[in-house]
Amino acid sequence: MSFSFAADCPAVSNLRPMKPRYSLLSRFLLLTAFAAAGTAAHAAAPRIRVLLIDGQNNHGAWPQTSQVIKTVLEQSGRFDVTISRTPPDDGRKPNYGAPQPTVEDMPAELQEAWARWRPDFSKADVVISNYNGVLWPEPVREAFEAFVREGGGFVALHAADNAFAQWEEYQRMVGVGGWYGRNTRTHGPRIHWEDGRLVKDPAPHYCGAHGKRSPVLVEIRDPEHPIVRGFPEKWLHPLDEVYYNMCGPAEHLHVIATAFSDAETGGSGKDSRSSSRSITAADALSTTCWATTCRASPAGASNTCSCAAPNGRPPARSPSPRLRPAISPPKKPCKTRRRPPPKTERVHQVALPRLRARVRAPP
pLDDT at residue 44, rounded to an integer: 67
pLDDT at residue 232, rounded to an integer: 94
pLDDT at residue 266, rounded to an integer: 87
pTM: 0.66
Residue 240 domain flag: yes
Expressed as residue numbers, the domain containing 276 is 4-323
Q: What does the pLDDT profile of the chain (363 residues) look like in tens digits? A: 543 333 333 333 333 333 333 333 344 444 444 455 444 445 568 999 999 999 999 999 999 999 999 999 999 999 999 999 999 999 999 999 999 999 999 999 999 999 999 999 999 999 999 999 999 999 999 999 999 999 999 999 999 999 999 999 999 999 999 999 999 999 999 998 888 889 999 999 999 999 999 998 999 999 999 989 999 999 998 888 889 999 999 999 999 999 988 888 888 765 322 222 232 222 222 222 222 223 333 333 333 333 333 333 333 333 333 333 334 444 444 444 555 544 443 333 333 343 333 334 444
Ranges assigned E (strand) in 221-362: 234-240, 243-244, 255-259, 277-278
The DSSP-derived string for 212-241 is --EEEEEEES-TTSTTTTT--SEEEEEEE-
pLDDT at residue 340, rounded to an integer: 52
pLDDT at residue 29, rounded to an integer: 47
Residue 201 domain flag: yes
Burial class (CB in 10 A: 0-12, 13-18, 19+), 164: buried
Residue 305 domain flag: yes
* Amino acid in the structure at residue 143: A
To 5 degrees, how large is the angle CA 336–CA 57–CA 244? 60
pLDDT at residue 43, rounded to an integer: 57
pLDDT at residue 42, rounded to an integer: 54
Residue 358 domain flag: no
Long-range contacts of 99-106 (CB under 8 A, 24+ apart): 99/135, 99/164, 99/165, 99/166, 99/180, 99/181, 100/132, 100/133, 100/134, 100/135, 100/163, 100/164, 100/165, 100/166, 100/180, 101/134, 101/135, 102/134, 102/135, 103/134, 103/135, 103/137, 105/134, 106/134
Residue 207 domain flag: yes
Local structure of residue 44 (DSSP, 8 states): T
At residue 153, the 3 state secondary structure works out as strand
Residue 142 domain flag: yes
Q: How far apart are CA 250 and CA 353, in angstroms?
A: 49
Contact assessment for residue 253 and residue 191, using Cβ atoms and an 8 Å cutoff? yes
The CATH number covering residue 176 comes to 3.40.50.880
pLDDT at residue 360, rounded to an integer: 42
Q: Which helix or strand (DSSP H or E) is residue 110 part of?
A: helix 108-116
Residue 203 domain flag: yes
Q: What total of structural domains would you count in the chain?
A: 1
CA 110 to chain centroid, in Å, comes to 26
* Amino acid in the structure at residue 302: S
Residue 337 domain flag: no
To 5 degrees, how large is the angle CA 87–CA 92–CA 98? 100
